[in-house]
């Protein structure tokens, strides 16, 4: 092929590449918006001294009410405005509200903060500066003038049609450029932070490893053909596809210390001396070869639930990878006298090492971020409080939204460091 033909093909390839990028650009932008915007918002909130009550900007809450009826000319009533600063911390400045009066209504007395405009047809009240939680009332005396129609329905409709309009200036902590590291200082200086981090790592490592090992064991068994294998494979998926609230409630009922089936069986078989509070007891001591071994009871139960619920995902991926391994290498290994354990260790494991690494990384991230399982089973009590539960408690239980966002940023940083290191040194599948 001569040089001009190569140049034409190169130019055509570049045009096709630019066209492909242009067609994919909306998808890229949408994915970036969905992924990055919440992440950036979380970083922004983490350096803001904002509580849950301050999530909305301060505003003036104003309610208008008429005391009395104007049925005929000369009747008197009172127009009342109740106002309140919605913020408990930040003031409202230059607060002014205006309202128009229905035709035929004459003002007889004014509040010192108010004046009449437009020949008595409009009301303007200047409230000045309202501190946090400030509230008050404005009372205006009114009477029915000579031009009043005398219709009560028209009178009430006239006031409802006129909605007071307020203007003010306020400090919005969410949009300001005032930043602080107090949220992170509070998180790291808390006495329980390192205990919570230790529980999170313990729960994540053992939950992830258990789900992978059980999934690998199930895949190894169900790889061979036998009668009823499709049905068994389908049943294996039940823990993963069932609603989490249903299976969590089932576990709580089964392991209930007073009416649970598990405790009843243990007591009937004389395995336990009394009812065991599996999800409410912090630790338990068991005898192992004459030595007392203390285990975190509630945390162990949560880990077992995690393993049982999420091993089907590992089972599916590992089984799919194992079925792609050429069968002739196992036949050759059997001819050479390799045992099943040797076949697994030297043949199967190198082929599934890559998928095991990917599954471990994904399950580690998902388990570390897991909140609903722990919250439904124990509520974070009895030594099962993880960092994600801490995010919920900081942001919603004590209404410190900034501190909750700071804990979420810490979680993101830990998972990012772990992911980079793991991807750098993770094994690959055998080719």
What does the pLDDT look like over 260-293, one tens digit per residue? 899 899 888 887 788 889 999 888 777 667 677 7
Per residue in 137-164, pLDDT (tens digit) is 999 998 877 666 556 666 666 677 778 9
- The phi-psi region of residue 379 (left if phi > 0; otherwise alpha if psi is between -120 and 50; otherwise beta) is left
Work out the burial of residue 361: count CB atoms within 10 Å of its CB; fewer than 13 is exposed, 13-18 middle, 19 or more buried.
middle
pTM assigned to the model: 0.80
Structure confidence at residue 88 (pLDDT): 85
Whose CA is closest to 93, among 129, 133, 134? Answer: 129
Whether the predicted pLDDT of 24 surpasses 60? yes
Least confident of 123-132, 179-188, 264-273, 299-308: 264-273
Residue 184: Cβ within 10 Å count: 17
pLDDT: which is higher, 369 or 11: 369
Least confident of 64-73, 251-260, 317-326: 64-73
Find, among 144, 130, 149, the residue nearest to 84 by Cα: 130
pLDDT > 90: percent of the chain: 42
Lowest pLDDT segment from 54-58, 108-112, 121-125, 427-431: 427-431
Tokens describing residue 196: 């919570």
Mean pLDDT score, 199-219: 95
- Of 5-9, 27-31, 308-312, 349-353, minimum mean pLDDT range: 5-9
pLDDT band (50, 70, 90) for residue 189: confident
Structure confidence by residue, pLDDT tens digits, 116-143:
987 778 899 999 999 988 999 999 998 8
Beta bridge partners of 105: 144
Over residues 98-108, the mean pLDDT reads 84
> Which has more pLDDT, 147 or 211?
211
Give which of 338, 347, 367, 361 is closest to 421, Cα–Cα: 361
Cα–Cα distance list, 266 to 63, 144, 262, 271 (Å)? 64, 83, 6, 5
| Sign of torsion over alpha carbons 348, 420, 362, 24 | negative
Lowest mean pLDDT among 59-68, 241-250, 345-354, 422-431: 422-431
Strand bridging mode 76-85 / 105-109: unpaired
pLDDT at 387: 94
DSSP code string of 310-348: HHHHHHHHHHHHHTTS-THHHHHHHHTT--HHHHIIIII
Q: Given pLDDT bands bounded at 50, 70 and 90, which one contains residue 431? A: low
* Residue 3 pLDDT > 70: no
At 412 the pLDDT is 94
Q: Which of 370, 372, 364 is nearest to 248 (CA)?
A: 372
Helix (DSSP H) and strand (DSSP E) numbers for the chain: 15, 10
Q: How far is CA 341 from CA 311, 324, 330, 348, in A?
A: 22, 19, 12, 10
SS3 content of the chain, % helix, strand, coil (to 5): 55, 15, 30
Mean pLDDT of all residues belonging to the chain: 87
In total, the chain counts a number of residues equal to 431
User: How far apart are alpha carbons 314 and 218 in whole angstroms?
Assistant: 9
Q: Is the pLDDT of residue 5 over 70?
A: no
Strand order in the sheet with 60-67: 60-67, 76-85, 135-144, 105-109
């Amino acid at each position: 092929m001569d040089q001009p033909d190569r140049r034409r093909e190169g130019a055509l390839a570049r045009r096709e590449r630019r066209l492909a990028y242009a067609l994919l650009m909306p998808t890229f932008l949408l994915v970036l918006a969905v992924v990055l915007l919440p992440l950036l918002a979380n970083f922004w909130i983490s350096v803001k001294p904002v509580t849950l009550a301050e999530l909305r900007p301060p505003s003036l809450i104003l309610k208008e009410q008429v005391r009395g009826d104007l049925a005929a000319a000369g009747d008197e009533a009172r127009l009342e405005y109740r106002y309140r600063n919605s913020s408990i911390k930040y003031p409202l400045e230059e607060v002014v509200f205006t309202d128009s009066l229905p035709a035929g209504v004459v003002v007889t007395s004014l509040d010192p903060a108010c004046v009449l405009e437009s020949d008595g047809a409009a009301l303007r009240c200047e409230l000045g500066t309202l501190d946090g939680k400030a509230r008050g009332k404005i009372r205006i005396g009114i009477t029915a003038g000579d031009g009043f129609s005398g219709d009560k329905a028209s009178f009430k409709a006239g006031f409802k049609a006129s909605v007071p309009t307020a203007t003010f200036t306020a400090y919005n902590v969410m949009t300001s450029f005032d930043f602080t590291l107090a949220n992170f200082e509070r998180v790291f200086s808390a006495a329980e932070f390192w205990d919570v981090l230790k529980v999170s790592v313990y729960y994540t490592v053992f939950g992830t490893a258990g789900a992978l090992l059980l999934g690998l064991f199930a895949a190894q068994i169900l790889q061979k053909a036998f009668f009823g294998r499709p049905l068994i494979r389908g049943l294996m998926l039940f823990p993963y596809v069932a609603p989490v609230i249903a299976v969590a409630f089932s576990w709580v009922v089964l392991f209930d210390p007073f009416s649970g089936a598990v405790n009843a069986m243990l007591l009937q078989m004389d395995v336990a001396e009394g009812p065991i509070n599996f999800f409410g007891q912090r630790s338990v001591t068991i005898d192992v070869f004459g030595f007392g071994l203390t285990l975190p009871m509630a945390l162990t139960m949560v880990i077992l639930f995690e393993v049982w619920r999420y091993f089907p995902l590992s089972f599916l991926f590992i089984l799919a990878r194992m079925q792609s391994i050429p069968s002739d290498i196992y036949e050759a290994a059997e001819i050479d006298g390799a045992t099943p354990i040797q076949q697994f260790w030297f043949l199967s494991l190198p082929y599934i090492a890559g998928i095991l690494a990917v599954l471990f990384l994904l399950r580690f991230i998902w388990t570390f971020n897991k909140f609903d399982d722990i919250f439904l089973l124990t509520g974070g009590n009895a030594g099962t409080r993880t960092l994600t539960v801490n995010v919920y408690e900081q942001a919603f239980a004590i209404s410190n939204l900034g501190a909750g966002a700071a804990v979420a940023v810490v979680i993101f940083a830990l998972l990012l460091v772990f992911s980079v290191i793991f991807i750098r040194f993770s094994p690959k599948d055998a080719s």
